[in-house]
Structure 1
């Protein structure tokens, strides 16, 4: 008997990689952590990844129970995540981010980086679906390694984005912030649109 379901492992990794988009996280990370010290940026990177993997793991084990207990549907969760991202996107587009301080550093790592940018509705739902396929040690390790592998890719992308920040300097960060705000607003609107569509069609 195989100790690892490699087909499921690849499926989990590829699916979450596409949804969470480690490369796409780089401009958002640079924008949200600009002006902070290198140590603070590094801390934000691993804290965000830790928050993301914790949220994804929690929903993999207890997602259905949590949503059922709180009487929350998946479209409602998706719409809430979209609204939160839209607020962040508007700040990036208008340049109204607050000056960084200790509290802001913590908030950036937790929200919006850790969730809902990384551990967003798409990643949560996908992980919950993969968790339903676990029927033994082979499938369990496949799902676990897939989730861990994607988060290692995200951490690597964020970690190596710091040298980029030193090269492009503040003017480059300003440009990236505007582009990231535009992309983030598009992601937010798409999340809200998908949630509204689910509400209208009753697909939840």
Structure 2
């Protein structure tokens, strides 16, 4: 039971850092600027549902994707760790990752699919994080990862719903600081994945 609790905390922390709903709500506001509340609600709901489906598919089929492309777990962890570390490093440098960079997007309900669902909510970093958590784990833990990301999607949905109010209350400076903290956590997760991949490669796992 303690192992499941520790695992759940690690998964939630990883997803929270990489999806970063507090920081991404400013992106949501900018993309939906000028839209009425019903349109915003529809875009928000659709984006989070699509992101959840995408991550769930990769969690369930990740093993077969590995086998299809002959991807080893150590190689995945090292490459994924480098990718996640890079995203976190960019956030620490006050830059938005190129994978999430958006400019001059018109208010259109199709933005729920791209760029909101892909790549903001279910981008490469999120998919890599999800697949890392389910590599060589039991079915119970796989279902736990899906449930936790579902919870994360709900949290993101409500954060986006309250985005205007949150920005007014806390201000952009506080949100920027939170973004940097999330960047640090993401960089640490990436480093951990690289170390774990190296340990598996050289059979150093204790």
Q: Given the two structures, how large is their TM-score scaled by the length of structure 1?
A: 0.68
* Distance change in 2, residues 1:30/1:46 (3 Å): farther
Structure 2 counterpart of 1:134 = none
Which of 10, 15, 34 does residue 26 from structure 2 map onto? 34
Q: Name 2:79's counterpart in structure 1.
A: 80
Give, in whole Å, the separation in 1 of the partners of 2:14 and 2:82. 23
Structure 1 CA distance for aligned equivalents of residues 2 and 60 of structure 2: 17
Compute the displacement of 1:33 (Å): 4.5
Q: How many residues align?
A: 176
* CA positional deviation for 1:121: 0.6
How large is the Cα RMSD of the aligned pairs? 3.3
Deviates more, 1:106-115 or 1:89-98: 106-115
Task: Show structure 1 runs of 5+ residues with no match.
Answer: 1-9, 132-141
- Alignment correspondent of 1:173: 175
**Aligned counterparts of 1:12 and 1:196: Cα–Cα separation in 2:** 23
SS in 1 for 2:171: helix
CA distance in 1, matches of 2:190, 2:138: 24
Verify: 1:151 aligned to 2:159, yes or no.
no
Q: How big is the shift at 1:15?
A: 6.9
TM-superposed CA distance for 1:94, in Å, is: 1.1
Change in Cα spacing, 1:47 to 1:145, as seen in structure 2 (3 Å) is: same
CA distance in 1, matches of 2:142, 2:186: 28
Matched, 1:130 2:138: yes
* Partner of residue 193, structure 2: 191
- Deviation for aligned residue 1:52: 1.3
Deviation at 1:69, TM superposition (A): 3.6
- Tell me whether 1:109 sits opposite 2:126 in the alignment: no
- Give the CA deviation at 1:22: 6.0
Q: Distance in 2 between matches of 1:147 and 1:82?
A: 18
Q: Is the 8 A contact 2:83 2:125 kept in 1?
A: no
TM-score computed with the length of structure 2 as normaliser: 0.67
Question: Aligned partners of 1:148 and 1:72: how far apart in 2?
Answer: 22
Which of 23, 37, 49 is residue 46 of structure 1 equivalent to?
Answer: 49
